[in-house]
């Protein structure tokens, strides 16, 4: 310091120096206090605690929200066999006011399919109505209400109309039947057509993000049909084209084949040959109808190690046929599973047997009075003990469950 030191400064100058030093101290120590308060406030908002046990301010980081793990999508498919309205069925459905009610026979069936995304049914006959004549065996045609009632009564939303009776009343009847189903708007329908263009059209239904296609063909027709009116297995060009379209646009291709030897529980060579062809063209599941009785269930090898579920025949559901094997049908079920990566698998085949019940006395049967059959109803076989006891078949639920198990084989769970 210069000679004279602090005392050499004037009073005013000494005052200014003291004020400057004081200001620096306020800024230094006061700023640290403000910073400490800010840190404490942040800790208090983030964690509910402003300091550690020692009093030191704490800063916390919020934890990240975990990402959900993608899961498989699973859709249950149900399938029912021939819906075959014989004269007795039509007579029982006819109401006093002239309308028809077929849903009354199916009230115990719909709960069996309630949890299914796809419900396949074989409408064995045209439903072109009174204009074409309501008739049963051997030339069938049902009221328009028949289609509406199997849709509402049994939950049918994937409709096969490729079968030997669909063309019984000709192409105009097929056209009218398709128009009826247009009004009902099922998820899927295949097998009979109004034009070549409609024959080439494959409807795709998306259920829970899984795309389904239905391709239906029949082995033959009882009466001549147009090339486009009925999908017949001998029409190779149509079959190949339709299968290619289905395979290109669907995750799952369901194939319905009306085939086999009537009233036989055995699988014939023609069925095996046609199944092999359909599997080569991309079928994921084959559902067989036509024999009117049950046939085995098998996993059939396909390309690249693929296993295709084949229900060779799922029998009848609604009819008034005369022998007990023709009256034991059921609801075939399986799950379609899609992984987050898009892989598809078919799992858990099962079967719920049913009994098509009607009452008929021995005297009426001996007289051949078919229209005397009455009190028609489809029961789950497990609940059919009383109905079987009223029938002429002299059998039990246990005996028929054993029959179903022996025919379908070990690969399917009987429920």
Q: 36 and 137: one domain?
A: no
Domain check: are 280 and 339 in the same one? yes
Residue 44 pLDDT greater than 50, yes or no: no
Q: What does the pLDDT read at residue 57?
A: 56
pLDDT band at 60 (very low <50, low <70, confident <90, very high): low
Residues 109 and 22 in one domain: no
Asked if residue 218 and residue 116 are part of one domain, the reply reads yes
Is the residue at 59 inside a domain? no
Is the model's pLDDT at 5 over the cut of 70?
no
Report the pLDDT value the prediction gives residue 218, as an integer from 0 to 100: 98
Which has more confidence, 42 or 306?
Answer: 306
pTM of the model: 0.84
pLDDT digits (tens, 9 = 90+) for 246-291: 999 999 999 999 999 999 999 999 999 999 999 999 999 999 999 9
30 and 108: one domain?
no
- Cα separation, 193 vs 177, in Å, equals 9
In this predicted structure, what is the pLDDT of residue 251?
A: 98
At 62 the pLDDT is 65
Confidence of residue 16 (pLDDT cuts 50, 70, 90): low
Q: Does residue 76 sit in helix, strand or coil?
A: strand
Same domain, 36 and 86: no
- Within this chain, do residues 405 and 288 fall inside the same structural domain, yes or no? yes
Verify that 113 and 201 share a domain, yes or no: yes
> What range does the domain containing 22 cover?
5-47
What is the domain-level CATH number for residue 164?
A: 3.60.21.10
**What pLDDT band is residue 22 in, cutting at 50, 70 and 90?**
very low
pLDDT in tens, 362-385: 999 999 999 999 999 999 999 999
Is 217 domain-assigned? yes
pLDDT at 58: 59
In a domain, 150, yes or no: yes
pLDDT given at position 150: 98
Q: Is residue 63 scored above 60 in pLDDT?
A: yes
Domain assignment present for residue 65? The answer is: no
How confident is the model at residue 273, as a pLDDT?
98
Note the pLDDT of residue 67.
79
Each residue's pLDDT tens digit, 297-331: 999 999 999 999 999 999 999 999 999 999 999 99
Provide the pLDDT confidence category of residue 242 given band limits of 50, 70 and 90.
Answer: very high
34 and 83 part of one domain: no
Domain count, the chain: 2
Residues 40 and 77 in one domain: no
In angstroms, the CA 284 to CA 255 distance is 8
Question: Do 209 and 105 sit in the same domain of this protein?
Answer: yes
* pLDDT at residue 27, as a whole number: 43
The pLDDT of residue 47 is above 60: no
Q: Same domain for 297 and 221? A: yes
Is there a domain that residue 197 lies in?
yes
Give the mean pLDDT of 388-393: 97
> Tens digits of per-residue pLDDT, 157-168?
999 999 999 999
């Amino acid at each position: 310091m210069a000679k004279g030191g602090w005392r050499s400064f004037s009073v005013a100058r000494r005052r200014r120096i003291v004020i400057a030093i004081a200001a620096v101290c306020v800024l230094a120590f006061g700023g640290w206090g403000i910073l400490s308060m800010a840190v404490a406030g942040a800790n208090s908002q983030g964690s509910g605690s402003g300091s550690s046990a020692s009093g030191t301010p704490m800063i916390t980081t919020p934890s990240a929200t975990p990402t959900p793990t993608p899961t498989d999508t699973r859709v249950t498919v149900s399938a029912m066999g021939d819906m075959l309205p014989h004269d007795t069925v039509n007579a029982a459905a006819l109401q006093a006011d002239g309308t028809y009610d077929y849903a009354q026979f199916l009230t115990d069936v719909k709960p069996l399919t309630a949890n299914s995304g796809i419900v396949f049914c074989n409408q064995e006959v045209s439903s072109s109505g009174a204009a074409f004549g309501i008739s049963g065996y051997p030339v069938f045609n049902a009221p328009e209400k028949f289609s509406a009632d199997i849709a509402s009564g049994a939950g049918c939303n994937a409709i096969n109309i490729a079968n030997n009776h669909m063309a019984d009343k000709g192409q105009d009847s097929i056209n009218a039947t398709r128009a009826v189903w247009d009004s009902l708007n099922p998820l899927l329908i295949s097998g009979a057509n109004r034009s070549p263009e409609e024959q080439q059209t494959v409807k795709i239904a998306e259920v829970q993000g899984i795309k389904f296609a239905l391709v239906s063909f029949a082995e033959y027709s009882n009466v001549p049909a147009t090339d486009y009116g009925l999908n017949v297995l001998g029409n190779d060009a149509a079959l190949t084209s339709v299968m290619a379209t289905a395979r290109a646009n669907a995750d799952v291709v369901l194939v319905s084949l009306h085939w086999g030897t009537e009233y036989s529980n055995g699988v014939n060579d023609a069925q095996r040959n046609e199944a092999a062809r359909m599997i080569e063209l991309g079928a994921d599941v084959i559902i067989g109808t036509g024999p009117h009785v049950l046939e085995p269930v098998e996993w059939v090898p396909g390309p690249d190690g693929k296993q295709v579920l084949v229900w060779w025949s799922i029998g009848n559901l609604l009819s008034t046929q005369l022998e007990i094997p023709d009256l034991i049908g059921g609801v075939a079920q399986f799950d379609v599973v899609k992984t987050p990566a898009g892989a598809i698998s078919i799992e858990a085949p099962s079967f719920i047997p049913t009994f098509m019940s009607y009452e008929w006395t021995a005297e009426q049967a001996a007289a051949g009075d078919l229209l005397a059959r009455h009190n028609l109803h489809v029961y789950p076989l497990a609940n059919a003990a009383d109905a079987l006891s009223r029938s002429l078949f002299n059998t039990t639920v246990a005996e028929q469950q054993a029959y179903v198990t022996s025919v379908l084989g070990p690969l399917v769970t009987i429920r």
